[in-house]
Amino acid sequence: HTVEIKGGSVLGGILGESELAVNSLHHQAIRDLGAGYTASAIAPDGVIEAIERPDAPFMLGVQWHPEYTWKTLETDFNLWKSFVEAAAKVKQAR
Summarize the confidence of residues 57-65 as an average pLDDT: 92
Q: Residue 48: what pLDDT?
A: 95
Walk across the sheet containing 19-21 and list its strands: 19-21, 2-5, 38-42, 48-52, 60-62
Q: Residue 24: what pLDDT?
A: 79
Q: Which pTM value belongs to this model?
A: 0.88
Q: Using one digit for the tens of pLDDT, what is the confidence trace for 7-60? A: 999 999 999 999 999 987 778 889 999 999 999 999 999 999 999 998 998 999
Q: Residue 33: what pLDDT?
A: 95
Q: 73 pLDDT exceeds 80?
A: yes
CA 6 vs. chain centroid, Å, equals 11
